[in-house]
Structure 1
Amino acid sequence: MSPEISSNLRKHRRRLGWSQERLAEAAGVSPGTVRKLEQGGVARVETLAQLAEALNVDTAALFAPPASPEPIRDDGPSRQQLLDLRRHLMPPVGLFDATGPPEEGVARGVLLQDIDEAHALYQADRYDSVARRLPGILSVAGGSVRAADGDDQRRQALVTRARALFLTGKYLTQVRQYDLAYQALVAGIRDAREIGATPTAAVGVIGMCWLLLRQDRFAECADLASDTADAVEPRISKATPEELAVWGELLLRVAAAAVRNNRKAEAKDARRMAATAAQAIGREHIDFRTHWGPFGPATAEIKVIEDLSLKGDARGVLRRADTGPLHPDSLKAHGTPTSNVWGRYRLDVAQAHSRSGAHHDATEILMGIYRSHPEWMRHQPMARRVVEKVLRTRMRTLTADMRTLASHLGVNG
């Protein structure tokens, strides 16, 4: 945790004339937590948000600069895979442009199919396979742009390369290679902007906002998502599902950033408008060729539950879990989100059970995620936190499932 958080926390507490005990009571945390933080200790974003709310400041006021991202685990990309991607995203630049033999374009349908297959691997949590395929896809996409003959062909090539770059940015953000992810997303957004493909560029902005959230840059995320949502807001009665999905996803990014930054009114408005877009679509809409991820009634409700989880409202999470749009009957009728979104929702429910002391229920949910998406689970700090708490608070011998989870996530206990 940066030393600035310690000094900022102390400064805002003293500004109110509060003792550490008074702040702890107002924030609903232990005095020891406040004391530890002011001495340079570490805390989760949820705890910092509670403290910022009690102090009546934005969470971002406690950050300067943002905390460093969590290091990549052993299951992250290899050095060679990162080097291959870096060559495409950050080529050397000198006094003269590199020249080479003329390139032949590749059939756009073939390239799109390659991108779709790589995205399917991403959704299946096969990140190593994605990393191996992306350099070739980027190479072909770049060659197609350079070989394009005429405005229409160049436009199609740039839109396709933007899609390849967005997938690259999505993968790199997932595995916490944030600087490379930024390069990929910026390049894709610029490709789309060059040809006036605003809907495509907005998809990249959704990815950029996810990256900003991962870096605790809440205010920047909210502003960027809000401005973009205003620019692409459709007329509900005539909007296509694709237009509604992009607009709705941007609103979800606004809400996610605002709730983390204790801007409750802004978060509430964004969630309300996102729910309107979800109701207008009527079911989960998943099409990576036209938007970033899934969007629909279930996804919008899952994000509401994520807000409750961030606030530490375990009862609220459990009260809404598996009801309404998330009831099994509703899911059958209106569709289920992608595995990543669903997995995050189940992690929120598992954490709520853990906070309520129901460690067996938490473990059962985590085991379900482990059986279906073990690779994705490795990249989720929340999964490790829940297991760490189970191990720390359980007085009896660990069950076989608890030991399995601890071993899989590298948790000692």
Structure 2
Amino acid sequence: MSNWAELTTGKRIKHLRGCDLTQQGLADVAGVSLALVQKAEQDRGELSVGSLLKIAGALKTDVGVILGQQAPRRGMNRGDRASLRQLSDAVHESALGEWEGVDDPSTVGELSKVRDLAWDAYWRSDTSKVSALAAQVLMEGQVRYAGATGAERERLGLVLASTYRVAASCATGFGQRDLALSALTSAKLLARDAGDPMMTALLESTLSWVYLRSAKTPRAVAVAERAALAIEPSFSKVNRPQLLAYGRLMISAAVASSRRDDESAADDYISQAHAAAARLGRDEALYGTHFGPTAAKAEAVGIHVALGNYGRALNLANQRDMTDLPKHMSKVARNRYKLDVALAQCASGLHDQAGNTLVEVGLDAPEWVKHQALPGVIGKRLAKVSTARVRTISELIGVPLIS
């Protein structure tokens, strides 16, 4: 990994492209200009997060690999690889009916509690715990589901669908797109049979995120928008699950639109998310998904950062009701938000603050941060001011930020 980290971003892209794919071919697959690919491989200028996502998707790799935070094929540590292998086995074997050895499955109530613990572990960025708990629910739940009828079958179907969804979310965070899609395929079948439109809507929100991480931004927007229209609430009558699912889908559409530099659409979607959050009045959770005023405000900061509206993002982040925001968020959501703030600080010339925020993230979520694109982007910008400072940050958080 150290040798890979010592290469420049341009050399990593060229290495990943190999001899079989020309620069024009990469540009065509990624949907970017030939000039952008040429400049990237020559290390001239900075790549936007959107361009990094497109190039990573075209090269079938993760952004962290291109930025040198992970090595190709061996980017994860041994524990993460073992956890994802366990998760993959559970996702595929449970769907295929490979349940040997499960003689006395847990009850629906017991499986529901374990499912909730798996989501709690996900929001703490505890991959090994997510995998172990999700594997238990998927294997035992499918055994019980096969013989269940009536209300018990519907309840089990929703527990299983939500568990496949947390498996998909975990896999997506590590760039395992195919595993995520497999899990979502099983989840959507179960949600359809259970007849719960809110579960179906939240599954589409996760699918939108999978497409976003795969640089398929038009599809990410379309999936979220279509699902939102299917459950659009009446704001005169409060249906809390409906408001939560709708608001989360509006955020998905807004984030994907911001990655397409479509500011008008992003503003429209985030306005709808704010309206849903205001109607809810407080943060709530449904099937492991959190939404409310806190989520809407934090996501708005990230959307403005993605659009390059750094001053607007910092003005929002510095508002009185935003200063304590991270205390009310999960570890993953909190650190996603802080990375957005750090990038806005860096772009606004607040280099010391940006460095301090990046250190806070790295110390709070050391394994999670290795799989994020923004630390590398921030590190390269800070290096123009002080490479010594960036190397110190790299040592503190255990992530190579510059070559």
> What is the rounded CA distance, in whole Å, between the counterparts of 1:327 and 1:234 in structure 2?
31
Tell me the CA shift for residue 159 of structure 1: 1.2
CA distance change for structure 1 residues 41 and 68 in 2, over 3 Å: closer, same or farther?
A: farther
Residues 248-397 of structure 1: matches in 2 within 5 Å?
248-285=247-284, 287=285, 290-323=286-319, 325-328=321-324, 331=325, 336-394=328-386, 397=388
Separation in structure 1 between the aligned mates of residue 203 and residue 33 of structure 2, nearest angstrom: 38
Q: Percent identity?
A: 21
Residues of 1 paired with 2:213 and 2:32: CA distance? 22
Which residue of 2 is the match for residue 118 of structure 1? 118
User: Shift in Å at residue 144 of structure 1?
Assistant: 1.6
**CA separation of 1:98 and 1:122: change in aligned 2, threshold 3 A:** closer
Distance 1:327 1:67 in 2: 38
Does 308-317 or 241-250 show the bigger shift? 308-317
Q: Higher relative CO (CA 8 A, sep ≥ 6), structure 1 or 2?
A: 2
| TM-score, scaled to structure 2 | 0.80
User: After superposition, what is the alpha-carbon deviation per residue over 1:185-223, rounded to whole angstroms, capped at 9, x for unaligned?
Assistant: 121111001232111111111111111111111111111
CA contact (8 A) 1:203 1:292 kept: no
- More moved, 250-259 vs 315-324: 315-324
Counterparts of 1:3-152 in structure 2, within 5 Å, are 3=23, 4=25, 6=27, 9-10=32-33, 36-37=39-40, 44-46=47-49, 48=51, 65=58, 68-70=61-63, 71=65, 73-75=75-77, 78-91=80-93, 104-148=104-148, 150-152=149-151
Alpha-carbon separation, structure 2, partners of 1:154 and 1:132: 23
Distance in 2 between residues matched to 1:122 and 1:358, nearest whole Å: 32
Task: Kindly provide the CA deviation profile for residues 95-150 of structure 1, in whole angstroms up to 9, marking residues without a partner as x.
Answer: xx8797995552111111111122222222221222233322211111121131x2
d(CA) in 2 for partners of 1:39, 1:187: 44
Find the aligned partners of 1:227 and 1:358 in 2 and give their Cα distance. 40
Query: Any conservation in 1 of the 2:221–2:253 contact (CA below 8 Å)?
Result: yes
Q: Secondary structure at the match of 1:234?
A: coil
Against the structure 1 CA distance between its residues 104 and 378, is the aligned structure 2 distance closer, same or farther, given a 3 Å change threshold? Answer: same
The 3 A distance-change label for structure 1 pair 99 and 119 is closer
1:404 to 391, 395, 399: 395
Distance in 1 of aligned mates of 2:57 and 2:102: 49
Give secondary structure in 2 for the equivalent of 1:370. helix
Q: Judging changes above 3 Å, is the alpha-carbon distance between structure 1 residues 93 and 9 closer, same or farther for their aligned structure 2 residues?
A: closer
- How far residue 63 of structure 1 moved from its aligned partner, in angstroms, is 10
Contact kept in structure 1, 2:283 and 2:293, CA below 8 Å: yes
For structure 1, list consecutive stretches of 5 or more residues without a partner in the other structure: 12-19, 21-32, 50-58
Asked whether the equivalents of residues 49 and 373 of structure 2 are also in contact (C-alpha less than 8 Å), the reply is no
Distance 1:99 1:409 in 2: 40
Counterpart Cα distance in 2 of 1:46 and 1:67: 16
C-alpha contact 1:347 1:382 (8 A) present in aligned 2? yes
CA RMSD of aligned residues (A): 3.4
1:15 matched to which residue of 2?
Answer: none
TM superposition shift of 1:404: 3.3
SS of the residue 2:318 aligns to:
coil
Shift in Å, 1:226 = 0.7
Gaps of 5+ in 2: 1-12, 18-22
Cα distance in 2 for residues equivalent to 1:37 and 1:375: 27
- C-alpha separation in 1, matches of 2:264 and 2:168: 31
CA drift of 1:349 comes to 1.3
Give the TM-score normalised by structure 1: 0.78
Opposite residue 308 of structure 1, the aligned amino acid is H
Q: Distance in 2 between matches of 1:321 and 1:79?
A: 36
**Aligned partners of 1:129 and 1:64: how far apart in 2?**
28
- Counting matched residue pairs gives 371
Amino acid at match of 1:224: V
Letter in 2 for 1:368: E
**Aligned AA (2:313):** V
